[in-house]
Chain A
Amino acid sequence: MDKFRMIFQFFQSNQESFMNGICGIMALASTQMYSAFDFNCPCLPHYNLAYGLGILLVPPFILFLLGFVLNNNISMLAEEWRRPQGQRGKDPSVLRYMFCSMAQRAMIAPAVWVSVTLLDGKCITCAFCTSVPVDTLGNASQPHLSQGEIQRVLARIPCKEIYNGQQLIANEVAVRYLRCISQALGWCFVLLMTTLAFLVRSLRPCFSQAAFLKSRYWSHYIDIERKLFDETCTEHARSFAKVCIQQFFEGMSTDLVAARCHLPRKAPADAGEAAEKLLGITDQGTMNMALKSWHRCKPPLHLHPPALPTGNGWAGQGQPPTHTSAPRRETAAYYSWV
């Protein structure tokens, strides 16, 4: 029991660390994903924006959902939210606490992706290269180029090999400009996220500490209760199975003895444990019948009260031993139906 308690406390106090660990791993995975991803700007006027913004915004959404999926507590939250009230009231502040803590952890990997993307600069360069201010950075005086043609030229800025607009605007100048904007956005985004996290963390003790302690206690309680209930059910299932199987073997041995119509050997006084464990099945044919019966006709999920020990060697079916009281006889009759 002591070991149980220590392990429980380890998990409890470390459940937060476990969740934080998963959160950190996902953040690292998102940086790794970004560096392994082969970014390929299409360099075509309308496709650039869609591609660039898509790469900027769709993977974070996926990572956010993944953060929820990987969190074990999501099913606990759903269960607590949907259960009928019954004899136990539901506390919305506990549900809110659970949801907020899960959402905060799930937000980290998407925020890392967006920051890394913005600080790297390729996405914004690809998405907004057609909006570069040519007047200030390059030569706007290109009368023979129509607006559409200019857009097409500018769209090729991210693809240096096919860029043919050096007279319009130098490639390096445009790329540096866009990357500068992208990195500035990236750092501002990181600053904003960090400031939000700081405010959320530091304003809480100032305003709602007591409510927070209550919600935290009851959300841990729900989690522990669910785990303990699962453990108790597992223990119960194990005992159920053990008794069921024992009763099956006893039933088999009783049937076989009755079918063969010969006196069962009296177990010698000094047979020991091994003989007991054989449960009356002592030859190949019997064992084969037992196995076949287990496959073809599994016993019902209903445990009988245990059979009485038989003094005269007969474990006859439906034969009530003579020295029982009235309730026993009823039990034996019930036996015979089964």
Chain B
Amino acid sequence: MDRFRMIFQYFQSNSESVMNGICGLLALASVKMYTSFDFSCPCLPQYNVAYGLGIMFIPPIILFLCGLILNRQSLVMLEEWRRPAGHRKKDLAVIRYMCSSIMQRAMVAPVVWIIVTLLDGKCLICAFSGSVDPERFVGFANVSTVQVQQLLAKVPCKDDELMKNNTSRKAVSRYLRCWSQALGWSILLILIIAAFLARWLRPCFNQATLLQARHWSNYIDMEQKIFEETCCEHSRLFAHKCILHFFESMRHEIKLHSFSLPREGEEAEGEEDLLRGITDQDQVNKLLKTWYYEKPPLDVS
């Protein structure tokens, strides 16, 4: 019993740590995904914007959904939200608390992706190379409109024949990367300040309600886990009883049908107990066949 309690306490204290761990792993996975992804801008006028912005925004949506799926607490929260009230009232503050903690954790990986993308710069260069003002760059200043669009679209592709040694290409690329990195650092700064303020100012507002909400959300989580464990324990005992009944009924049937003599009490000890009255090949075969063809009813009363 003691060991059980220790294990439960471990789960209790670590439920938050487990979720934080998953959150961190997803953030690392998002960085790894970005570095292993082979970014190749199409360098065609209409496709660049779609590709660049797509790479910047679709993976974060995927990571956000993954963060929600992998978080066990989101299921618990949904169940608590949708359950019928019954004998236990529903406390919306608890549900709100759970929802906000789940969302905060799920938002980490997408934000990491967006920031890494912006700091790297390739996406923005690909998406907005066609939107820069060509007059500001010597190499594109006196070119016809149609051609300038084509040329600007090829800026992200360093190895293209037209762009290989073009200094204006490098200038546009640097310009866009500078904007991209500035945007990335600004977003990072704003988010960190927001997180800092939220954490420091939270105790000033509704601390008591917060403590209650946190307690009851942990409680709901724990209760769910314990219910599942109790069901496992119960099904194990149920199965044990069912099988014992089955062996007993087989022994009874064998006694009725065969002419072998009833065993005297003095013989039944040790190994005989485990044999449960099934002592030859035919009886064992019959037992196994009956187990398949006629499983016993789910009733151990």
Contacts and interface: CB of A to CB of B under 8 A. Distances in A.
A335 interface: no
B75 interface: yes
A88 B239 CA distance: 14
B238 interface: yes
Contacts of B50: 184
The prevalent SS among residues of A at the interface is helix
Interface string A209-229: 100000001001100110011
A170 interface: yes
A301 interface: yes
A9 B229 contact: yes
A201 B69 contact: yes
Interface stretch (A174-182, A249-257, A259-267, A277-285): A174-182
Interface string A165-207: 0000010110011011001100110110011011001100110
B87 interface: no
Contacts of B233: 5, 9
Contacts of A327: 261
Interface string A223-254: 01100110011011011101100000000000
A232 B247 contact: yes
B243 A305 contact: no
A180 B47 contact: yes
Contacts of A198: 65, 68-69
Given A170-B161, A172-B160, A301-B280, A205 B82 contact: yes
A242 B271 contact: yes
21 contacts: A5-B233, A8-B232, A8-B236, A9-B232, A13-B229, A83-B293, A84-B292, A84-B294, A86-B295, A198-B65, A201-B69, A205-B79, A209-B79, A221-B239, A236-B275, A238-B274, A240-B278, A240-B279, A243-B272, A305-B263, A306-B267
A12 B66 contact: no
A228 B236 contact: yes
B236 A243 contact: no
The listed residue with most A CB atoms (<10 A of its CB), out of B65, B293, B298, is B65
B69 A197 contact: yes
B83 interface: yes
Contacts of B240: 228
A144 interface: no
B62 A303 contact: no
Nearest to B79: A205
B87 to A, nearest CB: 16
Interface residues of B, number: 67
Contacts of B271: 239, 242-243
A197 B263 CA distance: 60
A-B residue pairs, 3 tightest by C-beta:
A86-B294, A301-B281, A180-B42
Contacts of A209: 79, 82-83
B19 interface: no
Nearest to B242: A225
Contacts of B151: none
B129 to A, nearest CB: 14
Interface stretch (B51-59, B134-142, B168-176): B51-59
Interface string A1-42: 000011011001100000000000000000000000000000
Nearest to A84: B293
Contact of B40 (A179, A188, A233, A302): A179
B43 interface: yes
Contacts of B276: 236
Contacts of A5: 233, 236
A224 B236 contact: yes
A233 B289 CA distance: 13
A219 B74 CA distance: 24
Contacts of A336: none
Interface residues of A, number: 63
A228 B157 contact: no
Nearest to A327: B261
A12 B139 CA distance: 69
Contacts of A179: 40, 42
Contacts of B242: 225
A84 B232 CA distance: 26
B231 interface: yes
Interface in B182-234: 228-229, 231-233
B291 interface: yes
Given A87-B296, A190-B62, A228 B243 contact: yes
Interface in B54-101: 54-55, 58-59, 61-62, 65-66, 68-69, 74-75, 78-79, 82-83
Contacts of A180: 40-42, 44, 47, 51
A317 interface: no
Given A6-B3, A184-B51, A88 B296 contact: yes
A286 interface: no
Nearest to A232: B243
A303 B279 contact: yes
A150 B238 CA distance: 73
B67 to A, nearest CB: 10
A331 interface: yes
Interface string B146-178: 000000000001011100000000000000000
Contacts of A83: 292-293, 295
Nearest to B246: A229
Contacts of A238: 274
Interface in B255-301: 261, 263, 267, 271-272, 274-276, 278-281, 284, 288, 291-298
B253 interface: no
Nearest to A303: B279
Contacts of A225: 239, 242-243
A183 B33 CA distance: 14
